Structure 1
């Protein structure tokens, strides 16, 4: 199943990833983040996300910061670091625009 994440970098302003890819990113994030950070984003990345999801700008900003911490962790594989960065950028763009960050 494909998930479209708003405020992304593609031609349509989305990041489109499979639910499996998002879950695999979550596995890496769970491995490198402190438990409190992981708990704050678990609902999106643990493989159980049910779309549509609407995330308010303030929470999107918090999620972006957590994703950046995960991406910067030395144990994060480089390709997954880039994926986390794309999601963080999208969350920040939504927050900067004062718009909900949506996953459909």
Structure 2
């Protein structure tokens, strides 16, 4: 199964990542981020089902710099840093366009 996340850069304007990759990313994010920043990401990464959900533009805007910070952390593996940067860019695009950030 795959997450299709809006405001990405592929041919469908999405970021696509497998559930298992996102689960591993979630673990790395929790490892490199302080608790207060992790709490900001919980609406996206604390989801326990594969059901679609939406994040407000405001919340996406708050998540983007945290995802960038996590991507730049020295303990973040390269493949997960790339995904975190892609998600940060997508969150920024959603926030900048005052649009809902959709995960399905």
TM-score by length of 1: 0.91
C-alpha separation in 2, matches of 1:48 and 1:36: 20
Q: Which residue of 2 aligns with 1:3?
A: 3
1:46 Cα offset (Å): 4.2
C-alpha separation in 2, matches of 1:95 and 1:2: 23
Aligned pair in 2 of structure 1 residues 47, 57: CA closer, same or farther (>3 Å)?
closer
Q: Which residue of 2 aligns with 1:66?
A: 66
1:50 Cα offset (Å): 4.0
C-alpha separation in 1, matches of 2:98 and 2:46: 26
Hey, which bits of structure 1, 4+ residues long, moved more than 6 A?
none
C-alpha separation in 2, matches of 1:34 and 1:4: 27
Q: Deviations over 1:50-90 (max 9, x none)?
A: 42111111100111111011111111112211110000000
- Number of residue pairs aligned between Structure 1 and Structure 2: 104
Q: Which residue of 2 aligns with 1:29?
A: 29
Structure 1: stretches of 5+ with no match in the other structure: none
C-alpha separation in 2, matches of 1:25 and 1:12: 22
TM-score by length of 2: 0.91
CA RMSD of aligned residues (A): 1.4
Structure 2: stretches of 5+ with no match in the other structure: none
C-alpha separation in 2, matches of 1:70 and 1:18: 19
1:45-64 matches, within 5 Å, as 45-46=45-46, 48-64=48-64
Q: Which residue of 2 aligns with 1:76?
A: 76
1:25 Cα offset (Å): 0.5
